[in-house]
Amino acid sequence: MALSVGIVGLPNVGKSTVFNALTAGKAEAANYPFCTIDPNVGVVPVPDERLERIQKHIKTQKVIPAIVEIVDIAGLVKGASQGEGLGNKFLANIRETNAVLMMVRCFDDGNVIHVAGSVDPMRDIDIIDLELALADTDTVEKRLKKAQSAAKSGLKETKAELAICEKLFAQLNAGKPVRSLELDTNERALLPSFGLMTAKPVLYCCNVGEGDLPNGNAWSDAVKARAEREGAGVVVLCGKVEAELAELGDADRKELLASYGLKEPALASLARECYRLLGLQSYFTAGEKEIRAWTVRKGAMAPEAAGVIHTDFEKGFIRAQVYSVEDLDALGSEVAIKSAGKLRMEGKEYVVQDGDVMHFLFNV
């Protein structure tokens, strides 16, 4: 399954710098608003040490990690919901993503102009939240008017549509994002059809100066506190350092990380946090040709996981052979796992666990 995360923020907060680092891009962002007019799309591997552990025991031609699709979206300005700047295009691009990575400037640099004239991450977040909420309110209001007319028919489904429209409109009118609204199972099933931006999970990305690594500063601490209150994710990084790390070989990268007190590039934790936000996990397939991580939602059953590889696998699912990476570490091979009785045969009701190694048997 494709996981798409949109990097959003005000102009000149470091979005394109971080995007280039994520995707190992070489281009430098220009120091002016709207240098990214059309969204750039990059594919970022999700670091997972379990792939290396599997490869130690199963020799293969290639290793393929899970991926996150990152979309670098043009900078938002106040009034975007009314079409200011590149407002309409900006909002349309966010609607197409699964989650919002909100890039927040937490560094001071006189050489990099801030569109609002000063550094204030809480104000910047409020501007973005307001513009997204205003645009969502407009979307829901239009749907509400249609639902009010349709509900006059008295049909059960039209009443359900009207009820959720009223609930969403009240939430947005109160200045609150839809993601913080409690919805029942039926309402949550209807929600995706609205395409609301404030319904998407948010990951705050605090871009700090080099001297504020690894823990951040007072600005990023304020963002962390806000994220905790909202149940959002947060990652602290320095875009300049991440861009430099992306250019280095392994040995030099380790040396630079150590000099900043970092164990890994922050972009690695960013990719994993995106996974967590969206309730996703990985399972693995392993053979002579490739070892591969596949993305599946938490709680998915075996046939759904098989369908991630190919729809035919799901349609013709018979059973899955399953073992854990820990069993492979302990016993050394699939043959030994089978001999030890650790190779499990699971049916259609099996709930896939994070880190399962699976082989599917199917008939089409």
Question: Count of alpha carbons within 13 Å of 249, Cβ hemisphere only?
Answer: 1
284 falls within a domain = no
Residue 250 in tokens? 């392994």
168 and 308 co-located in one domain = no
207 and 81 co-located in one domain = yes
Q: pLDDT tens digits, residue range 25-59?
A: 433 333 333 334 345 788 888 889 999 999 999 99
The pLDDT of residue 2 is above 80: no
179 and 140 co-located in one domain = yes
Distance CA 146, CA 274 (A): 35
**Ramachandran region, residue 328 (left: φ > 0; alpha: ψ -120 to 50; beta: rest):** alpha
Using a 10 angstrom Cβ sphere, with 0-12 exposed, 13-18 middle and 19 or more buried, the burial of residue 95 is middle
Q: pLDDT tens digits, residue range 293-344?
A: 999 999 999 999 999 999 999 999 999 999 999 999 999 999 999 999 999 9
Residue type, 142: K
The pLDDT of residue 227 is above 70: yes
Predicted local confidence at residue 75, as pLDDT: 66
125 falls within a domain = no
Q: What is the mean pLDDT of residues 63-90?
A: 68
10 and 137 co-located in one domain = no
How much is the mean pLDDT over the chain?
87
Distance CA 231, CA 164 (A): 23
293 falls within a domain = no
Residue 174 in tokens? 């109160």
336 and 228 co-located in one domain = no
Instruction: Please tell me the least confidently modeled range out of 16-20, 46-50, 51-55, 148-152.
Output: 16-20
The pLDDT of residue 239 is above 50: yes
Q: Select from 20, 36, 40, 39 the least CA-distant residue to 28.
A: 20
Instruction: Please tell me the least confidently modeled range out of 113-117, 160-164, 227-231.
Output: 113-117
Using a 10 angstrom Cβ sphere, with 0-12 exposed, 13-18 middle and 19 or more buried, the burial of residue 316 is middle
Domain CATH for 44: 3.40.50.300
Domain CATH for 147: 1.10.150.300
Tell me which of 148, 172, 197 is where a domain ends: 197
- List phi, psi (to 5°) of 13: -105, -5
124 falls within a domain = no
91 and 142 co-located in one domain = no
189 and 205 co-located in one domain = no
The pLDDT of residue 85 is above 50: no
174 and 61 co-located in one domain = no
Residue 232 in tokens? 């959002």
Residues contacting 329, CB < 8 A, separation 6+: 53, 57
The pLDDT of residue 23 is above 70: yes
Question: What is the number of structural domains in the chain?
Answer: 3
Residue 128 pLDDT level (bands cut at 50, 70, 90): confident
Residue 59 in tokens? 């020799």
CA dihedral sign, ordered 143, 277, 270, 24:
negative
Contact 8, 105 (CB under 8 A): no
Rounded to two decimals, the pTM is 0.82
Tell me which of 182, 197, 212 is where a domain ends: 197
Residue 288 in tokens? 């002579």
Beta bridge partners of 362: 317
219 and 333 co-located in one domain = no
Predicted local confidence at residue 31, as pLDDT: 36
Contact 271, 46 (CB under 8 A): yes
Contact 105, 124 (CB under 8 A): yes
184 and 155 co-located in one domain = yes
149 falls within a domain = yes
Q: Select from 11, 358, 35, 18 the least CA-distant residue to 205.
A: 18
The pLDDT of residue 216 is above 90: yes
246 falls within a domain = yes
The pLDDT of residue 203 is above 70: yes
142 is in which domain, residue-wise? 133-197
Domain CATH for 329: 3.10.20.30
Distance CA 77, CA 55 (A): 47
137 and 112 co-located in one domain = no
Residue 135 pLDDT level (bands cut at 50, 70, 90): confident
356 and 261 co-located in one domain = no
Q: Select from 130, 162, 133 the least CA-distant residue to 146.
A: 162
**Preceding omega of 214 cis (within 30 degrees of 0):** yes
Residue 75 in tokens? 């900078």
Predicted local confidence at residue 29, as pLDDT: 36
282 falls within a domain = no
Tell me which of 145, 179, 197 is where a domain ends: 197
DSSP 359: E
Q: pLDDT tens digits, residue range 255-308?
A: 999 999 999 888 788 888 888 888 899 999 999 999 999 999 999 999 999 999
- List phi, psi (to 5°) of 329: -60, -40
152 falls within a domain = yes
Distance CA 333, CA 149 (A): 64
The pLDDT of residue 77 is above 80: no
